[in-house]
Structure 1
């Protein structure tokens, strides 16, 4: 039997292709993802620093209960082996960070997982009963249409995405027991704000608006929750503005995901919209999602569809 032996040139090309493939798979560094003029502020992009337990702020999340609220226990949801492993990892990681702690609360909300489209598991707390008994915070979120109106005439954009989202906000001291979730490993109470608490969006938007109030009033930045968009029509001016925003984030121990930021671009996707100079349209992917949305068969399904549609 004769075996094919590749030539030296073939081997060289194969090795080069392997190196290129390996380089493509290797995550880019902060220096590669962030423009040179921002490298003196690259600490804003540090992943490890973003995992520090947040300082107390005036916007620590309060869970104010209605006078007639009665604390209630809940059952433990059964988990598959994969979910059990994911829960163990979730608890270990968040206990290490100080984001949760063991609890002896008289009430608890269920803990479970939602499967993402890519098959990954998202940990969730079912705060439905707690939310029904919580006094609602009426602080408004920005209207998408009003944010889009502010972008008229802009031709240069920088989009930023905050790390850790709600976890940047502490739960108000003394209110942690109200957000307790129950697992087969015991009760745990959140020390930072988690997704699912009904007033989390209001608290987070209030904090961001307060931290950036003077800059927002200058009219060249829009902020929706943890999404930030800087806009200009002059590159030099845009660089100055971007540095100001990064410095403000640094001063307040807020961090960015460099892989989800886009700097000095002519076109950008923001809040499901495609934006460029004097042009705004809905992201085709979002339009496809609406067109292919299965016909709702329950009240919850109708509400979900209306909520998605009304957002745009």
Structure 2
């Protein structure tokens, strides 16, 4: 769909009219379109737009306001902007904030950000660049890698590196089934001097909403990519792929100091607003007010601050002028803080833990709401007892696999989980002397006896029977066979 440009006629009353030829103006695209053209913003009056006659009817006193808004946002409403995207964004953002629509422009978020005083700088001690392994990739992983490189080179977020060393790349599966590319910066992080800039604890940020009744939540677009790597340090972010080596110009995910640098950035930008009517935790910004009139001013100030610093937000992840909002895992409203029922339901539906890692995961998740639970430490004492180093976590159902050949015995100890059997330990024993002369059924039985002795301490600690698996059919009757005379 293309947007038509032409003569705009403003009619304030039947006897007066004002016309302006905007055919050469980029801002014209905001006003003249087809039948799907959205209503144009005005805090006083919503004018009537006739896209076929190229006319806009409005009260005379609000014309200048409308014209100013159009001209101020000319860069946003240009011919490259997709009208469908504009319409969708305008449905999410209240009309009172339309003058800040450029903050939610996706094209703006894909441009290389400017340098800030808190650019990511590496202070290294004895660091030697690693030679990352180029792992074998599946077709889907290769497609994801290729698309990632092409997209970020086009945005000037990465550039080809002259170095042959660098960190390897890995892939993590997303909830929607797609793949997320991750650069494995383990060695770089190990030698990086840690930035001690304070990232505030989440629970302390939630104590400033007292008395507030209206809220807006802004999600910054790009997050860590909003910060540049300090000039001269770009080569330290190199990573190796089968398509070549590349280095970042913006701060990537996975760096140990990324949260500290990003928190430093947002704190510097909103320094005079923090805890007054703005709370910021990394890329999530909350605006809180006691009245609607006050809130419009607060949000406008925040959006203006974002524009001044060339930052943008994701319109579809933002909420405006609501009485209740989810923030940092809590439901915030005029009544105070509440637990998010989705998180509570996850705790109630948590499957029984099968090993130490499962218990650690559950406690880490449940600890988030410990402030709402009386005698919490007492109630979880039975679980924390499993975290002691001297405690041997009871194994679940076990399977002991044995096999024998002419010259050796092989055994595998497996543990059963929801996804199947997983090997816990392997071992092998070479047959010597008389064992070499045993019949095959005796060698198979010897493998079972040797495995029971070898893992006696593990198997005796089980609270339930375990299986012995062998490929020798006749041994299944060993325990029930009669003694022959």
TM-score by length of 2: 0.56
Relative distance call for 1:138 and 1:94 in structure 2 (3 A) is: same
What is the match of residue 319 of structure 2? 262
Native 8 Å contact 2:220 2:283 kept in 1: yes
Aligned counterparts, 1:82-121, within 5 A: 82-105=140-163, 107-121=165-179
Poorly superposed stretches of 4+, deviation over 4 Å: 296-299, 301-312
Aligned counterparts, 1:216-227, within 5 A: 216=274, 219-227=276-284
Give the Å deviation of 1:261.
0.7
Q: What is the CA deviation profile of residues 29-81 of structure 1, one whole-angstrom value per residue up to 9, with x for unaligned ones?
A: 22211111111111111110111100111011112212x22222121122110
Relative distance call for 1:199 and 1:231 in structure 2 (3 A) is: same
Which whole-Å CA distance do the structure 2 matches of 1:133 and 1:307 have between them? 28
Give the Å deviation of 1:146.
1.3
Q: What is the CA deviation profile of residues 134-164 of structure 1, one whole-angstrom value per residue up to 9, with x for unaligned ones?
A: 1001111112121111011111000010111
What is the match of residue 293 of structure 2? 236
Give the Å deviation of 1:288.
3.4
Give the Å deviation of 1:296.
7.4
Native 8 Å contact 1:50 1:163 kept in 2: yes
Relative distance call for 1:172 and 1:51 in structure 2 (3 A) is: same
- Bigger-Rg structure (1/2): 2
Relative distance call for 1:108 and 1:303 in structure 2 (3 A) is: farther
What is the match of residue 246 of structure 1? 303
Higher-RCO chain (CA-CA 8 Å, sequence separation at least 6) = 1
What is the match of residue 281 of structure 1? 338
Long gaps (5+) in structure 1: 1-25
Within the candidate set 107, 110, 113, 1:48 is matched to: 107
What is the match of residue 18 of structure 1? none
SS at match of 2:168: strand
Native 8 Å contact 1:105 1:178 kept in 2: no
2:221 aligned with 1:163: yes
RMSD: 2.0
Relative distance call for 1:293 and 1:148 in structure 2 (3 A) is: farther
Greater share of helix: 1
Which whole-Å CA distance do the structure 2 matches of 1:75 and 1:265 have between them? 49
The 10-residue stretch of structure 1 (191-200 or 104-113) with the greater mean CA deviation from structure 2: 104-113
What is the match of residue 151 of structure 1? 209
User: Alignment length, in residue pairs?
Assistant: 284
Native 8 Å contact 1:64 1:134 kept in 2: yes
Long gaps (5+) in structure 2: 1-83, 370-485
What is the match of residue 271 of structure 1? 328
What is the match of residue 62 of structure 1? 121
Q: What is the CA deviation profile of residues 85-111 of structure 1, one whole-angstrom value per residue up to 9, with x for unaligned ones?
A: 111000000000010111123631111
Give the Å deviation of 1:117.
1.5
Give the Å deviation of 1:128.
1.1
